[in-house]
Amino acid sequence: MPIFLIAGVMAVSVLEVIMSRELINIMEYLALGELEQEVSTHYAHQNVFFESDERQLVLQRILNQMPPVYMWLCPEDCPDLTQLTPTERQHLHQVVTHEIQEQAHRAAPPPCALGNLMTEVYY
């Protein structure tokens, strides 16, 4: 009888763990992490995103170029880059780098129409 109860308790807890898992595209989390790391590392002193919508659009463009990677995860699980193959990691990094470079180019202020006029002023 005690063995049955222990087995029953164990079966319930395993079932609860299985039921709490969700099928999630981990590429969304990994792409966002790679995006944030790239911006904070290489564009720390430059405004790349002026609005949150711009960040969301860049992330969507990245995800459109990446194949989804689905995994069953519990709420406390945290996906990381080691769950991707080296080829997938390299492709993700290339796509993120390219999209950030394009966004930084779009976000750059336009050249001043006055040129260097203020430097030519003498007192």
**Residue 77 has what pLDDT?**
87
Burial of 99 (0-12, 13-18, 19+ CB in 10 A): buried
Domain presence at residue 42:
yes
Identify the pLDDT of residue 18.
60
Residue 72 maps to a domain? yes
| Tally of domains within the chain | 1
Cα 82 from Cα 92, distance rounded (Å): 13
Is the residue at 66 inside a domain?
yes
- Residue 39 lies inside a defined structural domain of this protein: yes
Mean pLDDT score across all residues of the chain: 81
Q: Is residue 5 domain-resident?
A: no
Q: d(Cα 23, Cα 79) in Å, to the nearest integer?
A: 12
Band of residue 19 on the pLDDT scale cut at 50, 70, 90: low
Q: Is residue 63 part of a domain?
A: yes
Side chain identity, residue 113: A
Is residue 122, in this structure, part of any structural domain at all?
no
8 A C-beta contact, residue 96 and residue 42: no
Residue 75 included in any domain: yes
What pLDDT, in 10s, does the model give residues 77-122? 889 999 999 999 999 999 999 999 999 988 776 666 665 555 555 5
d(CA 7, CA 1): 10
The C-alpha R_g of the chain, in whole angstroms, comes to 24
How far apart (Å, rounded) are the C-alpha atoms in residues 41 and 118?
34
To the question of pTM greater than 0.85 for the whole model, the response is no
Which range, of 6-15, 22-31, 42-51, 54-63, averages the lowest pLDDT? 6-15
Task: Identify the CA nearest to 75 among candidates 34, 27, 24, 36.
Answer: 24
Tokens of 101: 């470079």
Q: Which domain holds residue 86?
A: 20-106
